[in-house]
Structure 1
Amino acid sequence: MSWAERIQDFVTLWVVIDPLGTLPVFLAVTAGLSARDRTKAAFISTLVSFGVLVFFAMAGHWLLRSMDVSIESFQIAGGIVLFLFALTMIHGRGHADPHAPAELNPVEIAIYPLAIPSIASPGAMLAAVVLTDSARHDFTERAVTIVTFSLVLLMTLAIMLAAGRLAHVIGRGGASIISRVMGMILAALAVDLILSATARWLHLPPI
């Protein structure tokens, strides 16, 4: 693999993981946490995301083949999950008890929605499978891909760790606004994932 191809893979993973796009999601879902719990959620979400992406890079092909599931079906399913999560961001958490323990548990928040579906998004899982498609029998190339998305995840972690200062500036109201705007963007991304997969399935021109 040439350096140009590695840079292209890095850019692809940067786009699908979207470290900057994770920031408003992180601010929104950790608004009720202390600084210590916010840091804990950032580290746990990064580790969980790393584990998920490594799994799909190493065994994604085997898993989908063994279950006779196409890439398109996986992408559509992921798009639906992402869309449902986006709706919760748009409508907020007004129907839930804001002081419920589950809502303020940094571990649960780190796993959902931070790690899945925000950081290790359906697009990121799909990219992990696609980027290792031509290297299914070459461990070195897979390792290079894993190192590449590890760098992106480290950058994502750094951005989340720096979010605490920003949270003090924008406050709960700002986090609520960012959450709803980001929810609309995620909803659009989810629809794009579904439409793109459907177009490939029906052999239509790219969306």
Structure 2
Amino acid sequence: MHELLATFIFFFAVIDPIGTVPVFIAVTRGEDAAFKRKVAYKAVLVSALVLLLFVVVGELLLNAISIPLAAFQIAGGIVLLLFALTMIFGEGKPESEIKSVRDSTETAIFPLAIPSIASPGAMLGAVLMTRNNEYTWVEQAITSSMMLSVLGVVLLLLLLARYVHNLIGDGGASIISRVMGLILSSVAVTNILGGIKDYFAL
């Protein structure tokens, strides 16, 4: 039970459902309710397909190009750490991605599905949390279900976006994003140290 909760929290941190709400509001500003629902469902579906693709073929792709998983874990940890630091010290996820919305005609795919929901951190996390040499296919399926449950939370929040935004405001979303960034930075450091240990154990 503890491991399931830890996995859920990890994916909650890298996907950042609450931080996606302001991005969704900016993307769909001025549109009717039916259009907003369509964008929400499409964005979450695309995100789920992308992340599941990384779960299934991410490690196989690394093996095909002869990159040790330990090296990928170190690199992934560094990227996760940089991503987390931008959440903590930078503009924050909502502000930076809303700016890209204002200059873009895309809706569900960019920047909502990618990189807001299926972020680089989430893609790397999907591979690292389902390593074939550490986890059985049953464990990988359970991890994937935790990831999909977080995407379920994303969908729920997007469908209730107006109410969530009114409740927490831009400031609340920014605070939560920074807290998630702090959690994610701890996970990133753990991945880096674990990758270094595994690499020199080869």
Instruction: State TM-score, norm by structure 1.
Output: 0.66
Match of 2:175 among 170, 174, 177: 177
- 2:179 is aligned with what amino acid? V
Match of 2:188 among 187, 190, 196: 190
Q: Which residue of 1 aligns with 2:78?
A: 80
| Shift in Å, 1:132 | 8.7
| Shift in Å, 1:8 | 8.4
Give the conservation status (yes or no) of the 8 Å contact 2:130–2:140: no
- 1:175 is aligned with what amino acid? A
Give the 3-state SS of the residue equivalent to 2:170 in structure 1: helix
| Shift in Å, 1:168 | 0.9
| Shift in Å, 1:149 | 4.8
Matched, 1:148 2:148: no
Q: Distance in 1 between matches of 2:191 and 2:53?
A: 21
Q: Which residue of 1 aligns with 2:165?
A: 167
Q: Counterparts of 1:14-93 in structure 2 under 5 Å? A: 14-18=8-12, 22-27=16-21, 29-30=23-24, 32-34=26-28, 42-89=40-87, 90-92=89-91
Q: Distance in 1 between matches of 2:15 and 2:55?
A: 23
Structure 1 unaligned segments of length 5 or more: list them. Answer: 1-6, 136-140
User: What do the CA deviations read for 1:23-57 (whole angstroms, capped 9, x no partner)?
Assistant: 33323544634466775564344323322343234
Q: Which residue of 2 aligns with 1:199?
A: 197
Q: Counterparts of 1:104-123 in structure 2 under 5 Å? A: 105-109=107-111, 110-117=113-120, 120-123=122-125
| Shift in Å, 1:91 | 1.4
RMSD over aligned CA atoms reads 4.0
User: Relative to structure 2, which stretch is displaced further, 33-42 or 173-182?
Assistant: 33-42
Alignment identity in percent?
31
Pick closer, same or farther for the CA change 1:131–1:42 going to 2, 3 Å.
Answer: farther
Pick closer, same or farther for the CA change 1:191–1:130 going to 2, 3 Å.
Answer: same
| Shift in Å, 1:175 | 2.1
Q: Distance in 1 between matches of 2:47 and 2:13?
A: 12
Structure 2 unaligned segments of length 5 or more: list them. Answer: none
Q: Distance in 2 between matches of 1:142 and 1:178?
A: 29
Pick closer, same or farther for the CA change 1:186–1:47 going to 2, 3 Å.
Answer: same
Give the conservation status (yes or no) of the 8 Å contact 1:20–1:159: no
Q: Which residue of 2 aligns with 1:128?
A: 130
Q: Which residue of 2 aligns with 1:100?
A: 102
| Shift in Å, 1:188 | 2.9
Q: Which residue of 2 aligns with 1:138?
A: none
Q: Distance in 2 between matches of 1:166 and 1:29?
A: 13
Give the conservation status (yes or no) of the 8 Å contact 1:91–1:180: no
